[in-house]
Structure 1
Amino acid sequence: METLLFLFPQFNYMAPKEEAYFKMFGPEDLQAAKMKDDSRQKDKERKSRLSLFLTKSGSHENVSPLKKTNTTPSNISPEVALQWSDSFEDLLKHSDGVETFSQFLRTEFSEENIEFWLACEEYKTIDSETKLLSKAKYIYTVFIESDAPKEVNIDYDTKMAIQKTMAKPTKSCFEAAQTKIHSLMKKDSYRRFLHSDIYLSLTKKKGPGATMFRRRSRSCVFNERGEPTTAASEW
């Protein structure tokens, strides 16, 4: 009778449910369950440490000095915004341009590219060897290594070259990767940005009938659709 109550704990009202339930399993089953729980706990601890690391990264460790807001700065004039279409480099020289472009990248879930580029720009200004090492490890952990929380799209050889320098990083160790990400943004994201609602709302180009704004370009004037015209009277 004792054995029956042992195998069918639902009939043993005198024993705690948890104790009776675990007695149904053998030592091997209990060991496997314990190992599974330990593995889950380690994963949680690893994620918690990474989250704490990102939170306590400090001002010089911050990936981007820009505020991550969902609103476009309202004090940007159409004339200033139109200058950003001259070149991607002109856009990156303007703080509001970078912030607006970052907002656009967030809508495409690719904001890690501009954040990595900005982190590299800040990294090159560091003079302290201690801070340089700390910042290099941070950039590598967040953007470069496999399964990094904000891993950027660079080739294997470039990634391995960076990994080899982590023991003693130099100011140029991220240069190749930064150049590749800059080229990727320029050829891909930047072109879509110039046709996005975020950018067009700043330049007041909202479709046919909108007022044409004049801007000095290298050779022509652009109408509200972004099409070049050669009318000399527009200058």
Structure 2
Amino acid sequence: MRTADGDELAGPSPPASPVDSGIPMGPKRAEMRRQPMSAALDAPDSAGVRGAHNACCFCWCCCCSCSCLTIRSQEEQRHRMVSNELRRDNLPTCEESPSLTLEEVGAWAQSFDQLMFTPAGRNAFREFLRTEFSEENMLFWMACEELKKEANKNVIKEKAKIIYENYISILSPKEVSLDSRVREVINRNMVEPSQHIFDDAQLQIYTLMHRDSYPRFMSSALYKDLLQSLSEKSVET
């Protein structure tokens, strides 16, 4: 509307809401406003509920108490126990051997085969390799010898896996030195390993010990002291 002078008059203002104006609402009006808000707050989050019920391997909480994780943990623990038992059963230890004689120890100097042929020779040579931090070569050779005696396919597979993890894998601290060709053959055959899967690798390590370690063993204080000790005993008797 305009006045006689041409000034525009403001129209009527819309009525202020009870909330905006600070005027308290009636009980029925207040109840009607509370109901939608309460329904929104009380309504269950269907997606959250479904996520909680369906949470299997990715728990929605931090308690990690779902049954799937419990079962998986039990399976992994059982697998580790079986692997540890196999490792304990097949861990090479010093072989039992009769008392050493001067003739036997003297024969070790004739050839590497004579040294490796007897348990006493292998024990003495293994002790020397330990001083050179190359005992894994003898351990691998001995493990391969044990594998050749197995006939059960399941046992062969388990033992082959342990040998691979201990001496063939590049991640193992006891990895033996093998050429790439032998490694490739082993990797292909690990799908269905036989008791002869490591024959080529065993021969390489045998040759390495013969060429590098055996001459040093023959001139080592360990061998000379052993030979001298047996010589003195033979004189006394």
**Distance in 2 (alpha carbons) for counterparts of 1:188 and 1:137:** 28
Q: Does 1:66 align with 2:114?
A: no
- The alpha-carbon distance between structure 1 residues 127 and 65, as it changes in their structure 2 partners (threshold 3 A), is farther
User: 2:173 maps to what in 1?
Assistant: 149
**Distance in 2 (alpha carbons) for counterparts of 1:98 and 1:201:** 17
Residue correspondence of structure 1 range 85-96 to structure 2 within 5 A = 85-96=109-120
**Distance in 1 (alpha carbons) for counterparts of 2:175 and 2:122:** 20
Asked whether the equivalents of residues 104 and 198 of structure 1 are also in contact (C-alpha less than 8 Å), the reply is: yes
- The alpha-carbon distance between structure 1 residues 54 and 197, as it changes in their structure 2 partners (threshold 3 A), is farther
- The alpha-carbon distance between structure 1 residues 165 and 200, as it changes in their structure 2 partners (threshold 3 A), is same
User: 1:57 maps to what in 2?
Assistant: 86
TM-score (norm 2): 0.59
Cα deviation 1:12-55 (Å, max 9, x = unaligned): xxxxxxxxxxxxxxxxxxxxxxxxxxxxxxxxxxxxxxx97875
**Distance in 2 (alpha carbons) for counterparts of 1:141 and 1:202:** 35
**Distance in 2 (alpha carbons) for counterparts of 1:74 and 1:87:** 20
Give the aligned residue type for 2:171: D
Q: 1:173 aligns with which of 197, 202, 206?
A: 197
User: 1:138 maps to what in 2?
Assistant: 162
Query: Structure 2: any 5+ residue segments left out of the alignment?
Result: 1-79
Asked whether the equivalents of residues 87 and 162 of structure 2 are also in contact (C-alpha less than 8 Å), the reply is: no
How far does residue 120 in structure 1 lie from its aligned partner after superposition? 0.5
Q: Secondary structure at the match of 1:204?
A: helix
How far does residue 139 in structure 1 lie from its aligned partner after superposition? 0.5
**Distance in 1 (alpha carbons) for counterparts of 2:117 and 2:186:** 27
Cα deviation 1:64-116 (Å, max 9, x = unaligned): 2426xxxxx99423222111111111111111110000000000000000000
How far does residue 57 in structure 1 lie from its aligned partner after superposition? 2.7
Query: Structure 1: any 5+ residue segments left out of the alignment?
Result: 1-50, 68-72, 214-235
TM-score (norm 1): 0.59
- Which runs of structure 1 show a deviation greater than 4 angstroms over 4 or more consecutive aligned residues? 51-55
**Distance in 2 (alpha carbons) for counterparts of 1:173 and 1:192:** 30
User: 1:109 maps to what in 2?
Assistant: 133
Larger Cα-atom Rg? 2
Residue correspondence of structure 1 range 180-219 to structure 2 within 5 A = 180-204=204-228
**Distance in 2 (alpha carbons) for counterparts of 1:146 and 1:184:** 19
**Distance in 2 (alpha carbons) for counterparts of 1:53 and 1:101:** 31
User: 2:121 maps to what in 1?
Assistant: 97
**Distance in 2 (alpha carbons) for counterparts of 1:198 and 1:149:** 26
Asked whether the equivalents of residues 77 and 202 of structure 1 are also in contact (C-alpha less than 8 Å), the reply is: no
**Distance in 2 (alpha carbons) for counterparts of 1:58 and 1:181:** 21
User: 2:72 maps to what in 1?
Assistant: none
Asked whether the equivalents of residues 145 and 159 of structure 1 are also in contact (C-alpha less than 8 Å), the reply is: no
Q: 2:143 aligns with which of 98, 119, 123?
A: 119
Give the aligned residue type for 1:193: F
How far does residue 136 in structure 1 lie from its aligned partner after superposition? 0.5
CA RMSD of aligned residues (A): 3.0
How far does residue 167 in structure 1 lie from its aligned partner after superposition? 1.1
Identity of aligned residues (%): 34
**Which structure has more helix as a fraction of its residues?**
2
**Distance in 2 (alpha carbons) for counterparts of 1:188 and 1:92:** 15
